[in-house]
Structures are given as C-alpha cells and as structure tokens.
Amino acid sequence: MSLHKPWRTRIGALSVVLCGTLASTLLTAAGARAEDSTWTVRDQPDGPRAELRLDRATGSLGLTVSREGGTVIAPSPVGIVTERADLTSGLGFLGRSDRSVDEHYRTGAGKTRSRTVHMRESRFRFRTAAGARLDLLVRASADGVAYRYVLPGDTGNVLREASAFTLPEGASAWLGNYRKDNENLFNAYSATGAPAGEYMMQGLFRTKGGYALVAESDVTGSYSGARLVHDTGSPTYRVKLWDEQVQVKGALTTPWRAVVTGDLATVTESTFTDDLAPAPKVRDTSWIKPGRALWTWLAGGRPAGRSLEMQKGYVDYAAARHWPYTVVDAGWYFDPDQWDVTDPGWQSHSWIPELVRYGRERGVGIQVWIHHRDLDTAEERAQWLPTLEKWGVKGVKIDFMDSEAQETFRWYDEILPETAAHHLLVNFHGSTIPKGIQRTWPHVMSLEGVNGEEKKTNTAQHLTTLPFTRNVIGSMDFTPGAFHRPNRPNAASDAGELGLSALYESGVQNLAGTPESYEARPVARHFLEQLPDVWDDTRLLAGEPGSSAVLARRNGSRWFIGGTYAGTAHTAEVPLRIGAGRWLVETVTDGPAGLVRTARVVRGGDALSVDVVADGGFAAVACRWAPGRTSCDR
C-alpha cells in the first residue's frame, strides 16, 4: 500500500452531495421521500467520504466511511440516549446546512508547528415525534471523518451513546486493553477476533479502504471520557462512557467521534484530532518553549529528588549538552528531613528556588513533579501555582489523575487556564490521552497515556505500534534514552533506543538515561546534543504496525530519523522520502564494539540501507550535501 499522502491541493468546488434527489435542503419528516434518506459529506474527490443514512422504517441513523471505493467503516449506529429522550430511533429529518471550516493555527509542540485546516461540515437536524431535537454535525477532511451530537434543548443527563464503529470483513486491528491511565500494550488481532473486553479509545484498523484510527477530540468537563467495547466475534466496537450518567444542564455539544483514515502515511502524519479541537485559548505564547530535558527519576530515583547537590549535578550535565531543562521528580517536597508541607512557612524551606537560580545561571530551566492530590482543589492550586511561578519554575509534571470521569475533565478545565496564567508548562502523567488538548492549550507539552520506558512489560512489537496509534493523536511522554535499563525490549540495540528519541514526539522529550550511560556512549550523546526541541514537519518513511516504524522529522533544513524493528537481524531498505537532490546522511547503528556513526551521500527517493540487529533499530540525521561537507553538525 502506498505510503504517500493524498493530493492536498484545495479545489474551488468542494464535493458535498446529497445522494438521491432532494427538492430542498429543508424538509419536514412528513414531506421527505424515501430516496432522500441518504446523504454524503466529502471534502475532496479523493478524500474519505461519510455517508449518513436514516432508516425511515425505524427512524434510526447509521454512518458509513469509505475511501477510494473501499469501505473503511461499515454501516455503524449513531445516536444518544438521555434521561428524557431516546435519540437512537424515531427520528424525522428536518433539514441540513453546510459550511467550510478553514483555519490556520500554531502549536507549542507536535509533528508540525504550523497547520492549515480545511474541512467540510454538515449539520443534520432531526426531531422525534415527541419533539426532542438532535443535531448531528459531520465533518470530512483529506485525512478523516468525525461527528458529534448537539442537543439544542434541555434533555437531561446523558445515559449512553449508541455510537459504534463496525469494521468491514477481513479488517485487522491493533488494540490496547483499557485502563484508567491508558498505559497498556498494543497487540495485533483481527477486528472480529479480538477478545471481548474494553479497549483504549485509540484503536487502529486496516481495511480494504485504508487504515482507520478511531479516536475522540474536544473532551471537556461538559462530558465524559470514552473507551471501546468489543463483544466476542463481533465486527463492532461500541463507545462506552466512563460515567453511568453525564451531568448536563441545558443544551449540550458532545466530543467528536473521529476516524483518522487514509494510507498509513496519511494516518501517521495526521493532525486531525487537533484540527477538530477549539482554537487556542492562550493569547501570549512567547513563554511556551518545548525542549529536551534530563529526567532525573530513572537516572537517580527518589534520592535524586531529595538532594539539591545531585540536582545541581544534573543541571551541570544538561547545560554541557545544551539541553534546556531538567525535571525534578518525586521526593523533592515529601522529604521530612527537608520540610513539612503542613507547616505554614513551608515555602521558605524548599531548595527549589536555589536550584532554579543555579539553573538560570547555566541556561537550564527547572520543571518539577507534583501529585494530583496536591492540586485537586482551588485552595491548593492558589497555594502551589503562584509559589512555583515566584520561584521561577518553568513547568509542572502533574501525576496520578487516573481517571477519565467527567469530574476529572472538569478539573482539567480548571487547572489548564490557571497553569497558563502562571506561565507553567504542563506534562500530565497518569492521565488521559491528548484528545485535541494541545491545540486549545498550547502550553501542554506532553501527556503520558502510554506504556513507556518506566515499564518492564514492553515488547518490540509495542514499540513499533506506538507511532501509528498513541503518538498519532498528540505528544507522548515515553521517556526514551534509558540505556542503563536492562529490561527494555531493545536492550541489545543501543541504536534502536537512540532512534526512539526522534521516532517518538514529545514537546518535552524527557531523556531517561543516566549521565554515566551517556558518557559511556559518546556517539549517542552527540546525537542527543544535536536533537532539536521542535519539529517543522514529520514524514513516515517505512513501517507496518507491530513490525517496524521509521519516521523522519524536520527542523529547519535537517531531518532526524528514528527507526525501530521487531524480529530478526536484517538489512533494512528505507526510502529516503525527504526531498530530491543529494543528502548527507549520518546513521548510528549497532556495531560489535558499540555504536557506529557512518556518513554517506544518498539521493532523495533512493533507499537507505541500514543494518539492524534483532529487535533493534537505528538513528540518523540528514542534511543537504555540498562538496567538502562531511557532517550535519551545527
């Protein structure tokens, strides 16, 4: 299957078609004819097509997604049930209106900082015989289809959605079992053969119509987080809400149910879930600065969090590497030998201001870990956040929300503007997954929501699946670079571990190794010193979920490439899809005596041959070749 993006030239006449003959776009339920019960929404002739069908016998709705003549999502139920109305059947069509969605925005982090959005949106209006109203908003773009419910009246609390995704025959699936912090392995199944159970709302499917990543966007405290539920032998994955009842007062607009679809490159490079989210709510973004960080938890554990001297040593090491941050993890405010947080004068006892001063003198910003329970009330936030800003802390890593309940999303709604007001970057751990949050709140640098480097259960197959699932929908704090960890699945491949630093995107790339492990691997240290803090573009070069993944990310004129593989040792042939002309490519691979850095000249579009060890990988940097140029260093 082609890895190339669909042609994205915007055409003047957008294809939005009513299937069948419509005398008018404003029809009453009584006046609608049978042939008027199917409608199509499409942005481009070669893009995905959403087909909405109203079963006139039952008054129920179904949605189909197709692409290039193949079915991506088979007819799937659409509808919602509230305390006062069952909006899954008995619906009559009232009318339809259409508009174009054209936007441009910049993000603080992500696959690309500058983004242009073009979508077609159709609003379909329905009413039950009892007068309950339901509007269904459907959007289509070059890389996805999404829908959401709008309840214009006061219909009471939401009990459930009928929303589901039915896969066509023969579809494959990559799914992770659901858990409250979204930290589980992805595994491969057939779509019908996956075990019965609940799965994370980031399921990837391969169909004859292309790939489809099911996700959601724009989840706030007005609603509840969702997961996918599968029954034995069924091709259907139902949407289940965290809360038994979603509390609603007045009108309601639900989150988007999204299908990112296209060939594998289109899905991997997509920003569709961000594009669906509301516009940024932070006006002044000059203080928002992504960057690499020396993460001191895997490097030093809780003792490091309790020691100012150890933290100063990490600052010195980060400064020498030109890494802009260090992250002080758990322990710094729990040590009874330092100070007691129940003491009214606790702020004066912390050594964090001294560390901030020390780091500032060396060009290194300090970020700190803090437990959710210490920020879960307005009073606690009013104590902590101004204090951290006063100290000069650059960001907070907030941990252990462990919930996707409506109440938790209300907490996100409260803390996001508060952290922005105090100029604090945010990294959420033990959390939900992005769901468009980084567009609306660009100071959110990353979220965990991944079975990352800390875990001892990772597999090489999981590593190769993440670029096509979890990392598609937003920054992912996997924390690569822990060369000293013997239980990592690529333990025999330091080159593979190094490649993860470019393969996985995170606004704050928390590098998890020890200074000693970097010093023992000067080739890896050199690559990490060159690694940029932000990306201008991202391209999939090669890969297949569960087998391999090779991505190239551009900063300015240089491309950084990361590759990971599951399976036996072999020579990988990677298409250098980064532009025409000659490129100087420096690869880092595993050699008999350690990492090997090799420079060669390759033409854009040609294959880059790379030797990889079993369950291994590689890292590379490419720059324009010129006579006499032997390095891509700056």
Active-site residues: which are they?
399, 454
Residue 385 gets which letter from DSSP?
H
Q: Is 42 helix (H, G, I), strand (E, B) or coil?
A: strand
Nearest to 434 by CA among 481, 396, 469: 469
Q: Is 135 helix (H, G, I), strand (E, B) or coil?
A: strand
The tokens for 509 are 């790339």
Rounded Cα–Cα distance for residues 517 and 119 (Å): 47
Rounded Cα–Cα distance for residues 224 and 409 (Å): 7
Beta strands in 357-495 (DSSP E): 365-371, 395-399, 425-428, 444-447
The tokens for 515 are 């200074």
Residues in the chain: 634
Q: Are 218 and 255 in contact (CB under 8 A)?
A: yes
H helix count then E strand count, the chain: 12, 36
Nearest to 309 by CA among 332, 293, 292: 332
Nearest to 245 by CA among 163, 159, 161: 159
Write b or e for each residue in 246-261: b if 16 or more Cβ atoms lie within 10 A of its Cβ, otherwise e.
Answer: bebeeebbbbbbbbbb
Q: Are 136 and 91 in contact (CB under 8 A)?
A: no
Strand partners, 116: 104
Q: Is 337 helix (H, G, I), strand (E, B) or coil?
A: coil
Rounded Cα–Cα distance for residues 87 and 89 (Å): 6
3-class secondary structure per residue, 459-484: CHHHHHHHHHCHHHHCCECCCCCCCC
Q: Are 125 and 95 in contact (CB under 8 A)?
A: yes
In order of 292, 470, 482, 543, 577, the CA distances from 598 in angstroms are 25, 32, 23, 23, 20
Q: Which residue has the tokens 């203080």?
A: 287
In order of 222, 488, 504, 617, the CA distances from 354 in angstroms are 41, 35, 33, 41
581: buried, middle or exposed (CB in 10 Å: 19+, 13-18, 0-12)? exposed
Residue 200: in which H helix or E strand, if any? none
DSSP 566-608: -SS-EEEEEE--S-SSEEEEEEEEEETTEEEEEEEEEETTSEE
Residue 298 CA from chain centroid, whole number: 23
